[in-house]
Amino acid sequence: MAELRLDGHKLQYHPDRVADFLAGRPVWPINAEISPTSSCNHRCRFCNFNCLGHAARSLPAGKMPALMDELKRAEVKAVVFAGAGEPSLHPDTFPALRRARELGLDAALSTNGAPLGDRQLREMAELLTWSRFSINGGSPKAYAASQGADPADFARVLANLERLAAHKARSGSALTIGTQCVLISENMATVAELARRVKAAGADYFSVKHFYPHADNPYQPDPAGLAPGFLSELERRAGELSDTGFQWIVRGEEKLERVRPYRECLGLPFFVYLREDGGLYTCFSHQDDPQTAIGNLLELDFATLWQSAGKEAAIRRLNRHYDKNRCQANCRHHQINLWLDELRRPPPHVNFI
């Protein structure tokens, strides 16, 4: 498998959209993330959405499949089902994935993997470009402590991973099967065992990332988890376990950096986030501020909202009201913001390439 790029950005592969942006033409988003429901069967200790209580707030029946057509017309290229809860708990998530693929959109699913049945796993192999299982412990005990889950879910999730890999092999699909663990004190000691287990189950990669603090999340992990000795030992073991069919990626501490040289987040128009109450956003991190909402998709269609004054007002709010150096570490726009800022402010002599 070619080396994955989980950090950095890929906007340079969309020169038409970048040209629209630089010329001041309207920019349609490339990537849409959808939060089908805020319900979740787990309660991860670090989850940024615990503060919302995972109330059973969901997009209404029929909305997501129909939205795929609207996104396609708006030249969106990829949709990710993820968000504030477990997306597979919404009965429309798989119909929407099917519709996305019929329309030629790339589709992805982020899941904790526990509620998935065999039919869904088979469809994932057929429909998705990538899926990512969030597994936050390498033993039933560590998993239950980190993920606020029944310890029996640990074996269930690993079995589902194995079944997904079998469906992938049978169907010859190009699905990338990802797994991810947020490093916290409750699971640190079991991370290497988890890497071994997910590789054996057929995952293509295992990513260990840091906890990124968020203003609304009171959880504070034990800083000992970031001790340089521990991380370098993980990196050593990652090198040993990785091979041509499996990558263990330990995300660097520089991802915790919150210093941002730019004043404006120029990358905002390239993403769209749909919340489970219909609220539409460009920046996921400040969704608790109603002034960052473009509008509500339960009231107006996507193209109308995206071209409305509401979008400009939401972007203005994000750019004028928030100190970027206090925003969440590694926000998903950050690398694109950096790159576009450089394009907007070229150095002298750019024709001497």
- Write out the residues near ligand SF4 by the rule CB under 6 A: 40, 42-44, 47, 49, 85-86, 112, 134, 265, 283, 285-286, 318, 322, 324, 327-328, 331, 333-334
Taking the complex as a whole, the smallest distance from the CB of residue 223 to ligand SF4 amounts, in Å, to 21
* Rounded (5°) CA angle 19-24-27: 65
Taking the complex as a whole, the smallest distance from the CB of residue 122 to ligand SF4 amounts, in Å, to 22
Nearer to ligand SF4, 18 or 318 (CB): 318
Beta-carbon contacts of 310 under 8 Å, excluding residues fewer than 6 positions away, are 293, 294, 295
User: CA dist 238 to 63, 235, 242, 293, Å?
Assistant: 42, 5, 6, 40
Nearer to ligand SF4, 196 or 258 (CB): 258
Nearer to ligand SF4, 137 or 295 (CB): 137
Taking the complex as a whole, the smallest distance from the CB of residue 149 to ligand SF4 amounts, in Å, to 8
Q: Evaluate whether 343 touches 264 at the Cβ level (below 8 Å).
A: no
Taking the complex as a whole, the smallest distance from the CB of residue 71 to ligand SF4 amounts, in Å, to 21
Nearer to ligand SF4, 196 or 317 (CB): 317
| DSSP secondary structure, 203-240, as one string | -SEEEEE-----TT------GGGG-HHHHHHHHHHHHH
Coil, helix or strand at residue 64: helix
Tell me which H or E stretch contains 295: strand 293-296
Taking the complex as a whole, the smallest distance from the CB of residue 15 to ligand SF4 amounts, in Å, to 22
Nearer to ligand SF4, 49 or 205 (CB): 49
Beta-carbon contacts of 348 under 8 Å, excluding residues fewer than 6 positions away, are none
Coil, helix or strand at residue 271: strand
Taking the complex as a whole, the smallest distance from the CB of residue 209 to ligand SF4 amounts, in Å, to 12
Taking the complex as a whole, the smallest distance from the CB of residue 110 to ligand SF4 amounts, in Å, to 8
User: CA dist 74 to 205, 314, 337, Å?
Assistant: 32, 19, 22
Taking the complex as a whole, the smallest distance from the CB of residue 319 to ligand SF4 amounts, in Å, to 7
Nearer to ligand SF4, 294 or 331 (CB): 331
Nearer to ligand SF4, 30 or 265 (CB): 265
User: CA dist 188 to 56, 112, 208, 225, 350, Å?
Assistant: 31, 19, 10, 7, 47
Beta-carbon contacts of 346 under 8 Å, excluding residues fewer than 6 positions away, are none
Nearer to ligand SF4, 160 or 328 (CB): 328
Burial readout 248-263 (b: 16 or more C-beta within 10 A, e: otherwise): bbbbeeeeeebebebe
Report the distance separating Cα 92 and Cα 267, nearest Å: 30
Nearer to ligand SF4, 251 or 286 (CB): 286
Nearer to ligand SF4, 86 or 276 (CB): 86
Q: Which of 254, 332, 339 is nearest to 82 (CA)?
A: 332
Taking the complex as a whole, the smallest distance from the CB of residue 55 to ligand SF4 amounts, in Å, to 12
Taking the complex as a whole, the smallest distance from the CB of residue 296 to ligand SF4 amounts, in Å, to 20
| DSSP secondary structure, 124-193, as one string | HHHH-SEEEEE---SSHHHHHHHHTS-THHHHHHHHHHHHHHHHHHHHT---EEEEEEE--TTTGGGHHH
